[in-house]
Structure 1
Amino acid sequence: MTKIIWRTLVLAIYMLTLTAFILYILWGEKVSNWEKLMNDYFYNLPLGGWILLCFIALSFVIALWSVSIATQKDRQIAKYLEELLHNDHAIHKYRQMPKKNKKALMAIDDLIQSQKKSLQRITNDKANIQEKKVQERLIQERQRLARELHDSVSQQLFAASMLLSATNETMGDSLPAHNAKQLMQTEKIVQQAQLEMRALLLHLRPIALKNKSLAQGLQDLIDELRQKVYFNIQEKLEEVSLPKGAEDHVFRIAQETLSNTLRHSKATEVQLLLVQRDNRVIFRLQDNGIGFSMLEEDEHAGSYGLRNVEERAIEIGGSCKIISLPHEGTIIEVQIPVEQEESTI
Structure 2
Amino acid sequence: MISFLFRMITLFFLFSSTTFGFLYIFFGSPTDEDWGFLLDIEFDELPVIAIILISLAFLSLIISIWMSAVARSRETSATRYVKQLVEPDFSLKKKNLSFSLKKALIQANDLIETQRTSLQRMTNEKAEANDKLIQERIIAERQRLARELHDSVSQQLFAASMLLSAVTEQEDELAASKPTLQQVEKIVQQAQLEMRALLLHLRPIALRNNTLAQGLTDLIQELQQKVYFNIDYQIEEIELSKAEEDHLFRIAQEALSNTLRHAKASEVELLLIARDNIGILRIQDNGEGFNIEQDKSTSYGLRNIAERAVEIGCSYKIVSVPGEGTIVEVKVPLGNKVVEMPKSDSLVDLEKRTD
TM normalised by structure 1 equals 0.52
Greater relative CO (CA pairs within 8 A, separation 6+) = 2
- Residue identity matched to 1:306: L
Tell me which residue corresponds to 1:313.
Answer: 309
Check whether the contact 2:193–2:261 (CA below 8 A) recurs between aligned residues.
Answer: yes
CA 212–204 in structure 1, closer or farther in 2 if over 3 Å, else same: closer
Check whether the contact 2:235–2:273 (CA below 8 A) recurs between aligned residues.
Answer: yes
Instruction: Report Cα offsets for 1:152-176 as digits up to 9, x if no partner.
Output: x9899899989x99x99xx999623
Q: Unpaired segments of 5 or more residues in structure 2?
A: 1-125, 338-355
- Asked if 1:140 is matched to 2:139, the reply is yes
Displacement of 1:316: 0.8
CA 279–173 in structure 1, closer or farther in 2 if over 3 Å, else same: farther
- Residue identity matched to 1:339: G
Identity, % of aligned positions: 55
SS at match of 1:335: strand
Instruction: Report Cα offsets for 1:256-296 as digits up to 9, x if no partner.
Output: 11111110100010000000000110000110000011222
CA 145–276 in structure 1, closer or farther in 2 if over 3 Å, else same: same
Displacement of 1:140: 2.8
The structure that is helix-richer by fraction is 1
Tell me which residue corresponds to 2:279.
Answer: 281
Tell me which residue corresponds to 1:42.
Answer: none
Separation in 2 of the partners of 1:129 and 1:155?
36
Check whether the contact 2:296–2:302 (CA below 8 A) recurs between aligned residues.
Answer: no
Instruction: Report Cα offsets for 1:35-57 as digits up to 9, x if no partner.
Output: xxxxxxxxxxxxxxxxxxxxxxx
Tell me which residue corresponds to 2:30.
Answer: none
Check whether the contact 1:161–1:191 (CA below 8 A) recurs between aligned residues.
Answer: no
User: Alignment partner for residue 321 of structure 2, among 325, 328, 333?
Assistant: 325
Separation in 2 of the partners of 1:278 and 1:198?
36
Where does 1:44-193 land on structure 2 (aligned, <5 Å)?
134-143=133-142, 175-177=174-176, 179-193=177-191
Instruction: Report Cα offsets for 1:46-96 as digits up to 9, x if no partner.
Output: xxxxxxxxxxxxxxxxxxxxxxxxxxxxxxxxxxxxxxxxxxxxxxxxxxx
Instruction: Report Cα offsets for 1:173-212 as digits up to 9, x if no partner.
Output: 96234x3212211221121121111111111344511221
SS at match of 1:305: helix
Displacement of 1:133: 5.5
Tell me which residue corresponds to 2:300.
Answer: 304
Where does 1:241-256 land on structure 2 (aligned, <5 Å)?
241-256=239-254
Tell me which residue corresponds to 2:211.
Answer: 213
Check whether the contact 1:284–1:333 (CA below 8 A) recurs between aligned residues.
Answer: yes
Instruction: Report Cα offsets for 1:212-245 as digits up to 9, x if no partner.
Output: 1111110000111112211110000011121121
The runs of 4+ residues in structure 1 deviating greater than 3 Å are 127-135, 143-150, 153-162, 171-174, 204-207
Displacement of 1:141: 3.6
TM normalised by structure 2 equals 0.50
Tell me which residue corresponds to 2:234.
Answer: 236
SS at match of 1:332: strand
The number of aligned residues is 208
